[in-house]
Amino acid sequence: MSEANQETQNRQVLEKASSWLGGSYDEETKKQVRDLMQSNPKELEESFYRNLEFGTGGLRGIMGVGTNRMNKYTVGMATQGLANYLKQSFAGLPQVKVAIAHDCRNNSDAFAKIVADIFAANGFHVYLFDALRPTPELSFAIRLLGCQSGVMVTASHNPKEYNGYKAYWCDGAQVTAPHDTNIIDEVNKITDPSQVKFTGGSGSIEIIGKDVDSAYLSGIEGLLKLSPEAVERHKDLKIVYTPLHGCGVKMVPEMLARMGFTNIIHVPEQDVNDGSFPTVYSPNPEEPAALKMAIDKAAATGAALVLATDPDADRIALAVRDKKGDFFILNGNQTNSIFIYYLLRRWKELGKLQGKEYVIKTIVTTNLIADIAEAFGVEWYTCYTGFKYIAEIVRRYEGKKTCIGGGEESFGFNVGELVRDKDAVVSCGLAAEVTAWAKEQGMSVFDLLLDVYKQFGYYKERQISVTKKGKDGLEAIQQMMRDFRANPPKRLAGSDVKEIYDYQTLELKNVKEGVTKAIDQTSTSNVLQYVTDDGTIVSVRPSGTEPKIKFYFGVRESLHDVADFDSVTQALDKKIDAIAAELKL
């Protein structure tokens, strides 16, 4: 950035910060702003250089004072904008109804109360959970209670300094087009806290809890129990579960008990709800280090299965014993593939497949799922990254076809149509059931994975995330995407790139033939995907929730003998390493 531009930005930051020293802001907020102005110019810039964006999934950011931070004012202004749009969209109803839940994060309960008060002040009837609850239960509650919208206060698996919230529509899914951009427009019209109805109004707040819990868990039971005899025979299966300090502790153990499992082993230190996440560096089940305490507990107790959920209990991680008896952490693609294989196999064996069933995957999720679906004669659909797009397909075919399940590589999966978001609660139940069923067949879950690879090919995936924090990082990520569009790779690991999918322009370019075709998607997404002659797939996309640009690698090789698993793994890893080096990652 030039000196002149930097001076202009510094002046704008100072003006925005100074505006927080008067008006509707409380004294504590003003004091914190003054402290930043006097002693921390870099943090002042990061806090005020832009407005915290209300994106298509809602809000997410670092907590603190400032226009680019999560605080009661940015939360309040976003909520007022959402409330204004709901009043427009449901003007014909006598009263708009919304549901609100929150996770374990610092300030989540306070933010949830602020959101509830603002909705009530706008005349809405508000259903507010009595304590922390999983994100999927909020999705379920919206449909159960006939709400028009909902808010989940959470920053999912982000580090402890983050918070945010996800906005939901009346179908229990996160908002999609056209509502997402329309809500953003309304939020952007709220430019000052004086426009927010923090109190008053004619609405009401109703506290909910156990009744919704019971209905939610009963619904999950109806989606599982495809192998009740196997579960009964192996009900004492040792399962270690950790909520990583999050709200999964509220539902997962009870759900496993309802299914009939009697030997659930806890990690007591991680059962404690704590938004500082004291026992992990990051509460992200995608990070192997987050599972260390649970795996140590499993090794000490002789458990067969480790389950972990993230702070808002929508993502799941599994660790199972390999051929040597050591714990092997499944990645999201492996978990999804095993789940889909089990569901389709059991549906077929039980005579439940009637020709109108389907499964869903995202564009960066393994193609192994598509191969499994085709082998069982089941339709499969692909969509953008994000469960709201999976939910969009469910909504499109509701009452016409039946969704068996769907997932994405980032450790998210859901069964059926009960919930319209990824659901780690039902996924934990499914993982336990699969483990019991595999044991009934004389296999472990790891054996099952190898058997799937032998049948359909060994699909190996890896994701590399490059973190670029702050204002400079955002600009760097945008420049990287421009560079990849302007100068796409011609070869990857010795194989020519034959196709380039640009989901931002919705164009598919056949490089060798020089032909461009339209991609069949109803909206755009900032994703690039390169496909080579040998079937290798590399996808590039900026994260929508974190300061990262993500690279997804997918390679494949036949696995003729499960004894060759280690050697084929090494060969595929070397191939991915070579591609990453070529892309200078």
- Band of pLDDT at residue 93, cut at 50, 70 and 90: very high
pLDDT single digits (tens) 339-384: 999 999 999 999 999 999 999 999 999 999 999 999 999 999 999 9
| Mean pLDDT, residues 513-519 | 93
Give residues with Cβ within 8 angstroms of 45, minimum separation 6: 9, 10, 13, 471
- Band of pLDDT at residue 71, cut at 50, 70 and 90: very high
Note the pLDDT of residue 22: 86
Could you say which architecture CATH assigns to the domain 50-208?
3-Layer(aba) Sandwich (3.40)
- Rounded Cα–Cα distance for residues 290 and 307 (Å): 11
Note the pLDDT of residue 473: 85
Backbone φ and ψ of 201, nearest 5°? 85, 180
| Mean pLDDT, residues 395-414 | 96
pLDDT single digits (tens) 172-187: 999 988 898 899 999 9
Q: Is 410 a catalytic residue?
A: no
* DSSP-assigned beta bridge partners for residue 508: 501, 517
Note the pLDDT of residue 4: 60
- Rounded Cα–Cα distance for residues 347 and 24 (Å): 59
Q: Mean pLDDT lowest for which of 120-129, 268-277, 546-555?
A: 546-555
Burial class (CB in 10 A: 0-12, 13-18, 19+), 561: exposed
What would the two tokens of residue 33 be?
Answer: 């702003």
Backbone φ and ψ of 206, nearest 5°? -115, 125
Amino acid occupying residue 308: A
**Which entry of 47, 108, 149, 156 is annotated as an active-site residue?**
156
| Mean pLDDT, residues 59-82 | 96
Locate the domains of the chain by residue range: 50-208, 215-456, 459-582
Q: For a pLDDT cut of 90, what percent of the chain falls above it?
A: 88
Cα–Cα nearest to 241, from 264, 261, 259: 264
Q: How many C-beta atoms lie closer than 10 Å to residue 251's C-beta?
A: 25
Pick the CATH number of 459-582 from 3.30.200, 3.30.310, 1.20.1630, 2.60.40: 3.30.310
Note the pLDDT of residue 239: 98
| Mean pLDDT, residues 235-240 | 98
- Among the residues of 302-444, which ranges form H helices? 332-349, 368-375, 387-397, 424-440
Q: Mean pLDDT lowest for which of 212-221, 276-285, 482-491, 541-550?
A: 541-550
The answer to whether 241 and 256 have CB atoms below 8 angstroms apart is: yes
| Mean pLDDT, residues 6-24 | 86
Q: Which helix (H) or strand (E) holds 30?
A: helix 27-39
The answer to whether 270 and 311 have CB atoms below 8 angstroms apart is: no
- Among the residues of 90-171, which ranges form H helices? 108-121, 135-144
Note the pLDDT of residue 469: 81
- Rounded Cα–Cα distance for residues 534 and 496 (Å): 8
CATH of domain 215-456: 3.40.120.10
Give residues with Cβ within 8 angstroms of 148, minimum separation 6: 86, 89, 90, 93, 96, 97, 98, 169, 170
Give residues with Cβ within 8 angstroms of 27, minimum separation 6: none
Judge whether residue 411 has pLDDT over 90.
Answer: yes
Cα–Cα nearest to 341, from 231, 433, 434: 434
Contacts of 32-36 spanning 24+ positions with Cβ under 8 A: 32/64, 32/65, 33/65, 33/66, 36/65, 36/66
Number of residues that make up the chain: 585
Q: For a pLDDT cut of 70, what percent of the chain falls above it?
A: 99
- Among the residues of 313-397, which ranges form H helices? 332-349, 368-375, 387-397
Q: How far is CA 274 from CA 107, 132, 152, 163, 270, in A?
A: 11, 11, 17, 13, 9
Cα–Cα nearest to 302, from 281, 321, 283, 282: 321
pLDDT single digits (tens) 105-134: 999 999 999 999 999 999 999 999 999 999
Residue with tokens 């494949």: 556
Tell me the Ramachandran region of residue 470: left when phi exceeds 0, alpha when psi lies from -120 to 50, beta otherwise.
left
Q: How many C-beta atoms lie closer than 10 Å to residue 568's C-beta?
A: 18
- Rounded Cα–Cα distance for residues 257 and 95 (Å): 39
Cα–Cα nearest to 260, from 429, 23, 99, 110: 429
The answer to whether 365 and 554 have CB atoms below 8 angstroms apart is: no
**Cα distance between the two ends of the chain:** 25
- Rounded Cα–Cα distance for residues 419 and 136 (Å): 6
Domains 50-208 and 215-456 share a fold: yes
* DSSP-assigned beta bridge partners for residue 408: 412
Judge whether residue 1 has pLDDT over 60.
Answer: no
* DSSP-assigned beta bridge partners for residue 204: 125
Note the pLDDT of residue 539: 96
Note the pLDDT of residue 5: 66
pLDDT single digits (tens) 468-482: 887 788 888 999 999
- Rounded Cα–Cα distance for residues 381 and 387 (Å): 13
